[in-house]
């Protein structure tokens, strides 16, 4: 009898448990959890929205969930956030003239190193 | 080829040093300041003192928007300077951020109210739309457009170096009516 009671007692917590954000389907939910990993919390030095419980991150997560419900694309959601909190909120830096140096300098550096290497061999 | 190698050995440190020189000597003493211009988002929120709604259309001319809350300690620090600005007839709109109405009113009674209007943003929706990450933050707005923004406590130095140059450059009048 006591065992049954205990069982009921513990199971009731999980029965009450409900997800914090409501989504229509599993795909939306997956999209949500991927997005919050790809967006940096604007308040933290470096941490994703997923890792942060700062008030502004909670607000942003709520907005993302709402925008997913409205069938907004990932690009729309990302641009909504980066327009307001800056491009540094996106972990995946876009390739544009301002970031060419960031994206291509390693290859140029590699090329220079290779050139030095081959020149040396000939000498 | 040895000559080339020697040249390269000289050039690489030179590049590295010039890179550090360029980036470290850059005078960016106010990392909290930015001058990104954007339209004031449309909003309709209650005033802190009564049930009347304040919308973006009701606010015109040039004014400061100061994001504050009674739970925010730095807001208490900058409060003295805001009072000084207000005494010099500067138009400041308060944006009360995620705060209990009674706490906020009590705070203003206790320390004085430097604001012409106080907007009560309980859920932080307008603040989020303006890119606020926390309190305190201050925006300079003219003709429904944000033209300067500072994250953190404002004081005399920041007022003189971040906000006044923009106000002077545009010849704005920021006086309260």
CATH at A37:
1.10.8.640
What does the pLDDT read at residue B65? 94
Which residues of chain B from 37 to 56 reach within 8 Å of chain A, CB to CB?
38
B90-123 pLDDT per residue, tens: 999 999 999 999 999 999 999 999 999 999 999 8
CB contact under 8 A, A84 and B2: no
* Interface with B, mutate which of A67, A81, A84, A119 (most B CBs under 10 A): A84
> Within its chain, how far is the Cα of B106 from the centroid?
24
pTM of the model: 0.79
Q: Closest approach of chain A CAs to the CA of B1, in angstroms?
A: 6
Among B130, B162, B160, residue whose Cα is nearest residue B28: B162
Q: Taking a C-beta distance cutoff of 8 angstroms, is the pair B64, B92 a contact? A: yes
- Give the domain extent around A113: 95-123
Mean pLDDT of B114-141: 92
B142-170 pLDDT per residue, tens: 999 999 999 999 999 999 999 999 999 98
Low-confidence ranges of chain A (pLDDT < 50): none
Pick the residue with more confidence: B92 or B28?
B92
* Residues A70 and A30 reside in one and the same domain: yes
What does the pLDDT read at residue B146? 93
d(CA B2, CA A116) in angstroms, rounded, equals 11
Mean pLDDT of B9-38: 86
Q: Which of A84, A116, A123 sits opposite B131 (nearest CB)?
A: A84
B124 Cβ under 8 Å from any chain A Cβ: yes
d(CA B78, CA B112) in angstroms, rounded, equals 13
Mean pLDDT of B55-68: 88
Q: Closest approach of chain B CAs to the CA of A18, in angstroms?
A: 22
Q: Taking a C-beta distance cutoff of 8 angstroms, is the pair A53, A41 a contact? A: no
CB contact under 8 A, B8 and A122: no
In a domain, A46, yes or no: yes
Please list, in sequence order, all residues whose beta carbon lies within 8 angstroms of the beta carbon of residue B92, skipping any fewer than 6 positions away. Answer: B63, B64, B65, B66, B82, B85, B86, B114, B115, B116, B176
Q: Which of B1, B5, B124 sits opposite A59 (nearest CB)?
A: B124
Domain borders along chain B are 29-170
Containing B138, the helix (H) or strand (E) segment is strand B137-142
Size of interface A-B (CB pairs under 8 A): 38
ipTM of this predicted structure:
0.73
- The phi and psi torsions of B175 (rounded to 5 degrees) equal -65, 140
* Residues A106 and A50 reside in one and the same domain: no
What does the pLDDT read at residue B60? 84
B9 Cβ under 8 Å from any chain A Cβ: no
Predicted confidence band of residue B24 (pLDDT cuts 50, 70, 90): confident
Predicted confidence band of residue B54 (pLDDT cuts 50, 70, 90): confident
CATH superfamily, domain at B29-170: Glutaredoxin (3.40.30.10)
Number of domains in chain A: 2
d(CA B97, CA B36) in angstroms, rounded, equals 22
Q: Closest approach of chain B CAs to the CA of A123, in angstroms?
A: 6
């Amino acid at each position: 009898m006591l065992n049954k009671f205990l069982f009921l007692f513990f199971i009731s917590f999980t029965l009450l448990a409900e997800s914090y954000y409501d989504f229509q389907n599993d795909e939306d939910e997956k999209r949500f959890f991927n997005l919050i990993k790809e967006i940096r919390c604007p308040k933290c030095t470096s941490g994703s929205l997923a890792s942060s419980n700062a008030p502004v991150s909670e607000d942003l997560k709520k907005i993302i969930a709402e925008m997913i419900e409205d069938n907004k694309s990932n690009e729309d959601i990302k641009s909504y956030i980066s327009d307001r909190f800056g491009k540094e909120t996106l972990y995946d830096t876009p390739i544009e003239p301002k970031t060419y140096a960031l994206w291509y300098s390693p290859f140029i550096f590699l090329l220079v190193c290779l050139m030095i290497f081959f020149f040396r061999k000939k000498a | 080829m040895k000559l080339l190698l020697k040249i390269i050995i000289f050039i690489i440190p030179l590049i590295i040093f010039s890179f550090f020189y360029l980036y470290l000597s850059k005078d960016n003493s106010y990392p909290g300041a930015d001058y990104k211009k954007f339209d004031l988002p449309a909003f309709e929120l209650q005033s802190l003192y009564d049930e009347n709604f304040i919308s973006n259309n009701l606010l015109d001319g040039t004014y400061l928007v100061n994001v504050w809350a009674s739970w925010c300690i730095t807001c208490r620090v900058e409060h003295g300077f805001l009072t000084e600005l207000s005494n010099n007839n500067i138009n400041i709109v308060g944006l009360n951020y995620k705060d209990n109405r009674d706490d906020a009113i009590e705070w203003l009674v206790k320390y004085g109210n430097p604001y012409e209007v106080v907007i009560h943003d309980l859920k932080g929706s307008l603040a989020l739309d303006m890119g606020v990450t926390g309190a305190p933050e201050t925006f300079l707005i003219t003709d429904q457009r944000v033209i300067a923004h500072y994250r953190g406590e404002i004081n005399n130095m920041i007022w003189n170096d971040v906000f006044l140059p923009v106000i002077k450059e545009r010849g704005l009048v920021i006086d309260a009516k």
